[in-house]
Amino acid sequence: MIIIDTESCTGCEKCVKVCPVDALYMEEGVAKLKEELCISCSACVTACPVDAIEPELKAQRADFSEYSGVWVFAEQHEGELKATGPQLLGKGRELADELGEKLCAVLLGHDITDLADELAAYGAEKVYVVDDKALQEYTTEAYTTALTTLISRYKPSVFIYGATHLGRDLAPSVAGHIGLGLTADCTGLSIKEIEGQKVLQQTRPAFGGNVMADIVCPNTRPQMATVRPHVMEPMEPESSKNYEIIEEKVKIDPDSITTEILEVLEADERGVLSVEEADRIVSGGRGVGNCQEDFELLRELAEELNAAVGCSRPIVEEDIMPKCHQVGQSGKTVSPDLYIVCGVSGAVQHRVGIRGAKTIIAINKNSDAPIFDMADFGVVGDLKKILPLLIEKIREKKEN
């Protein structure tokens, strides 16, 4: 929003001309604002030759003393917690300790209250639960209503979400409804002191991963971020009786829900496991080939192992696989139990994405390929000869 000093306005209309959303108009020789259209782009502030327009820094003057608590959105599906909740609680513990605030989890769904114990085991001191039939299946509208209501009732200072498919939809919707900033897809979170105020510093790759940007939102609360799955470590779970459950009722207007769920398809029913959630990944790079057919061997191996298929960036750039399969700095961060990596050289941008993998088996014809520095097991040779043998051995083992 902006503030117009009508006394100083000379009626030159420059602001009206530059406004991209027609939020300004002239009345009795001075500029006037249609508040509902203003997007706070400040084009008019720059264009005004007499400094009669200023950005309204309402939020800067706000008192945040009522805001407290580091909240983690604990995503669940059909009564099972997704990995991001515990991972974010691990980081949330550090943030809450530095801020001297409570670590809280937020659980939405139906018949899910039992999951609060699990969240407490991963460090939550309070668990806010909204158990409602309208939240059984995810819809943007119902989940947004539940979270915006909780935020206005309890005023957390920080609220973090996993950058999962759901989190990437929900967090911007909540931010938009309350008028907050949101940093998407963070890879790091820390606390920084700015002008005597402890704020959340949110780090994320920018410009295609060429620089890391540190972002702060000192003027709004809660400070909100989505965080890439698997970049934060959960704490070792410890059973805890020492936590508080706050069960809340939220009014969800069924007419506000504009989506109808017709059918829920599980990822593996479509034959496409997500690399972020898979326990096993078979990944391929330029050494596998340069067309869809070349990747058939890799897919066959993945199918035998019930594994997801991952790839290096050139494979996405060459349109062989969609971006959601890309592993690495500008792709997904993964932490499977088993990562079989074929025909990938092991550039640092690929390796940063697989640091969380428990066992790495690399197949590469070049014994000096950097991927071997990181692999637990290495096979030097032509993958076109090795993969069929491996598939055959696995099939044999399954039959016996």
d(CA 91, CA 98): 11
For residues 246-282, b (16+ Cβ closer than 10 Å) or e, as one string? eebebebeeeebeeeeeeeeeeeeeeebbbbbbebbb
How is residue 75 written in tokens?
A: 């995503």
DSSP β-ladder status, 211-215 and 223-227: unpaired
Task: For residue 221, state whether it binds ligand FAD (rule: CB under 6 A).
Answer: no
| Span interacting with ligand FAD, options 10-18, 108-116, 267-275, 282-290, rule CB under 6 A | 282-290
Task: For residue 287, state whether it binds ligand FAD (rule: CB under 6 A).
Answer: yes
Task: For residue 286, state whether it binds ligand FAD (rule: CB under 6 A).
Answer: yes
Least Cβ distance, residue 282 to ligand FAD (angstroms): 14
Task: For residue 208, state whether it binds ligand FAD (rule: CB under 6 A).
Answer: yes
d(CA 11, CA 29): 5
Query: Measured between alpha carbons, how far is residue 217 from residues 69, 155, 162, 171, 202 in Å?
Result: 16, 16, 18, 15, 9
Query: Measured between alpha carbons, how far is residue 249 from residues 129, 131, 232, 310, 385 in Å?
Result: 9, 8, 31, 42, 60
H or E stretch covering 340: strand 338-342
Task: For residue 328, state whether it binds ligand FAD (rule: CB under 6 A).
Answer: yes
Least Cβ distance, residue 330 to ligand FAD (angstroms): 4
- # of chain residues touching ligand FAD (CB under 6 A): 30
- Computed on alpha carbons and rounded to an integer, the radius of gyration of the chain in Å comes to 25
Task: For residue 383, state whether it binds ligand FAD (rule: CB under 6 A).
Answer: yes
Per-residue interface string for the shown chain with ligand FAD, residues 101-140, x marking contact by CB under 6 A: ----------------------------------------
Task: For residue 345, state whether it binds ligand FAD (rule: CB under 6 A).
Answer: yes
Nearer to ligand FAD, 142 or 186 (CB): 186
Q: Which amino acid is at 313?
A: R
Least Cβ distance, residue 350 to ligand FAD (angstroms): 3
| Span interacting with ligand FAD, options 58-66, 238-246, 296-304, 357-365, rule CB under 6 A | 357-365
| C-alpha closest to that of 105 among 172, 150, 169 | 150
> CB-based contacts of 112: which residues, under 8 Å, 6+ apart?
76, 79, 129, 131
| Span interacting with ligand FAD, options 45-53, 113-121, 258-266, 324-332, rule CB under 6 A | 324-332
Least Cβ distance, residue 298 to ligand FAD (angstroms): 12
Task: For residue 162, state whether it binds ligand FAD (rule: CB under 6 A).
Answer: no
Question: What string of DSSP letters covers 277-323?
Answer: T-SEEEEE-TTT-SSGGGGHHHHHHHHHHT-EEEE-HHHHHTTSS-G
Least Cβ distance, residue 307 to ligand FAD (angstroms): 18
| Span interacting with ligand FAD, options 1-9, 219-227, 299-307, 329-337, rule CB under 6 A | 329-337
| C-alpha closest to that of 33 among 51, 6, 12, 59 | 6
Three-state secondary structure string covering 165-196: HHHHHHHHHHHHHHCCCEEEEECEEEEEEECC
Least Cβ distance, residue 384 to ligand FAD (angstroms): 5
Task: For residue 369, state whether it binds ligand FAD (rule: CB under 6 A).
Answer: yes
| Span interacting with ligand FAD, options 89-97, 113-121, 185-193, 361-369, rule CB under 6 A | 361-369
Nearer to ligand FAD, 145 or 283 (CB): 283
How is residue 299 written in tokens?
A: 């897919």
Task: For residue 341, state whether it binds ligand FAD (rule: CB under 6 A).
Answer: no
| Span interacting with ligand FAD, options 212-220, 231-239, 250-258, 338-346, rule CB under 6 A | 338-346
Binder of ligand FAD out of 313, 320, 321, 375 (CB under 6 A): 313
d(CA 95, CA 123): 12
Sites of contact with ligand FAD (CB under 6 A): 208-210, 285-287, 312-314, 326-331, 343-345, 347, 349-350, 353, 363-366, 369, 382-384
